[in-house]
Amino acid sequence: MSKNFDVIVIGAGPGGYIAAIRAAQLGFQVACIDEWQTAAGGPAPGGTCTNVGCIPSKALLQSSEYFDQAGHHFAEHGIQLQGLGVDVAQMLARKDQVVKQNNDGILYLFKKNKVSFLHGRGRFAAKADGGYEIKFTGKTEESITGKQIVIATGSSARALPGVPFDEVHVLSNDGALRIGAVPKKLALIGSGVIGLEMGSVWRRLGAEVTILEGLPTFLGAVDEQIAKEAKKAFDKQGLKIELGVQVGEIKSSQKGVSVAYRNAKGEALTLDADKLIVSIGRVPNTTGLNAQVVGLQLDERGAIVVDADCKTNLPGVWAVGDVVRGPMLAHKAEEEGVAVAERIAGQHGHVNFNTIPWVIYTSPEIAWVGRTEQQLKADGVAYKAGTFPFLANGRARALGDTTGMVKMLADAVTDEVLGVHIVGPLASELIAEAVMAMEFKASSEDIARICHAHPSLSEATKEAALAVDKRALNF
Ligand SMILES: Cc1cc2nc3c(=O)[nH]c(=O)nc-3n(C[C@H](O)[C@H](O)[C@H](O)COP(=O)(O)OP(=O)(O)OC[C@H]3O[C@@H](n4cnc5c(N)ncnc54)[C@H](O)[C@@H]3O)c2cc1C
């Protein structure tokens, strides 16, 4: 193996592995270093996303959704079931298999694109002639040099002060995806994306789930109307969400966990549970990088400081994904990875932060792109709004899933689409049309004039566009 590379990528999560592949496509000699390992000690590229994030959570969401459907909705379709049960071990084994397929897929892609993959930890050793020396510690320890370095070391779960994750009673996202039996009572702290998704999995499987949230409003970043609709659905499902709480002492014992807290009214209460999942945000992974040896600038959170192009304060050193500012989303990391590789090649890589979609894979799903109604009001933008409920959509009725709506916001003068907000079935897929429309600066009339297949959920997007002009046809 060569010891001198054009590009060295540290981290093989969605930001890093995609940057490495794109750089290799552009003709560079690339090495990608990643330390994640399987239980057996083998390489497991894909980062948080593949190993303990996007992929395993969606695998468990799917399995638990099937169980929920079988238990509560199959009868409506005339399907009778007896002896329905959950084999958690099999569910987790399937999830692990899905993860492994993704790990193996990335190893294959590295081979196909001639990216040298190094399994172990990478850290800065020194500035070198025309680049940087990176120390790699895996089964062996060696030094390699790179003219350009891309840091994509991601993030880790934030623990509550004084309450470390033991992954037995107090769980991070990692432990939350490995609970071996359905807990009777599950407590969560944090009702963000991860909290809601993890809470949904275990609620569907039969746990009594309570989520404690410090903020007074539910899903504050989401359009209020959409958040309200989602909350109504979660309440109906029995997902208990307490807002405006102040968490106090947390005690673990053989029996489980007890969380002392004050509710929004100021009453002192205790929540006893078998397990506690803490999902209160994530911290950038920069501690092991030896950043100080080369003078790499970090901010007060430990994130790498970058400009709009993902350039750090050091020439030839870039950083992408969760380890830098911006939303902690896999597709944002990927877009930055591609853009950086292209900038290294002298091209004009580009990431449009205004059209990054957000998705929460609960049931109903929540997805949005662009500005919310509250943001438009705060920005003083005159807008028109159109909504269309899935209740009036033929495909949603046939699916038996009519919760929610599509909401479209367009500029009152130009009609340009400024935001699309969806709560309902397959919102994660429907949002792609809205992202595309906004990328092409479409007007709501453009979407209203496009032929959408019938019957399809996407007709709700067209109808919401028609509703902007107060001429929905089916509602
Ligand atoms: C439960 C959960 C569900 C999620 N679901 C979604 C979702 O549905 N959609 C979505 O868009 N996002 C989701 N996310 C967020 C998403 O996982 C992250 O935004 C994404 O993984 C960030 O990618 P990254 O490449 O920046 O970092 P990471 O994926 O964190 O990868 C960083 C990699 O770098 C490695 N590394 C760190 N330091 C070193 C070092 N010094 N040497 C070598 N290797 C190192 C790490 O081991 C890791 O493999 C979810 C996150 C969680 C926790």
pLDDT tens, residue by residue, 228-287: 999 999 999 999 999 999 999 999 998 899 999 999 999 999 999 999 999 999 999 999
Phi, psi (rounded to 5 degrees) for 371: -85, 150
> Does position 20 have pLDDT exceeding 70, yes or no?
yes
C-beta of residue 274 within 8 angstroms of C-beta of residue 252: no
What count of other Cβ atoms lies within 10 Å of the Cβ of residue 112? 10
| Residue located via tokens 């009609």 | 415
Burial class, 77, CB count within 10 angstroms (exposed 0-12 / middle 13-18 / buried 19+): exposed
Distance 451 CA to ligand 1 centre (A): 38
pLDDT tens readout for residues 434-461: 999 999 999 999 999 999 999 999 999 9
Q: What is the DSSP letter of 373?
A: H
> Does position 2 have pLDDT exceeding 80, yes or no?
no
Q: Is the CB of 363 under 6 A from ligand 1?
A: no
- Cβ within 8 Å of residue 129, ≥6 positions away: none
Confidence of residue 431 (pLDDT cuts 50, 70, 90): very high
b vs e for 361-377, b when ≥16 Cβ sit within 10 Å of the residue's Cβ?
bbbbbbbbbbbbbeebe
Distance 59 CA to ligand 1 centre (A): 17
Q: What mean pLDDT is reported for the chain?
A: 97
Distance 336 CA to ligand 1 centre (A): 14
Residue 129 has a pLDDT of 86
E strands, 329-416, are 358-360, 365-370, 383-389, 405-411
Q: Is the CB of 173 under 6 A from ligand 1?
A: yes
Confidence of residue 167 (pLDDT cuts 50, 70, 90): very high
> Does position 386 have pLDDT exceeding 60, yes or no?
yes
Residue 353 has a pLDDT of 96
Residue 332 has a pLDDT of 98
Residue type, 70: A
Give the residue, by CA position, lying nearest to ligand 1 atom 26: 321
> Does position 1 have pLDDT exceeding 70, yes or no?
no
Q: Is the CB of 8 under 6 A from ligand 1?
A: no
> Does position 55 have pLDDT exceeding 60, yes or no?
yes
Q: Whole-angstrom Cα distance, residue 17 to residue 210?
A: 37
Confidence of residue 377 (pLDDT cuts 50, 70, 90): very high
- Provide the annotated active-site residues: 454
Q: Is the CB of 322 under 6 A from ligand 1?
A: yes
Mean pLDDT computed over 328-355: 97
Confidence of residue 128 (pLDDT cuts 50, 70, 90): very high
In this structure, the strands spanning 282-284 and 275-278 are: unpaired
- Cβ within 8 Å of residue 8, ≥6 positions away: 30, 31, 32, 33, 122, 132, 134, 144, 145, 146, 148, 149, 150
Q: Which atom of ligand 1 is nearest to the CA of 282?
A: 53
Ligand 1 mutation target, pool 48, 286, 324, most atoms within 8 A of CB:
48
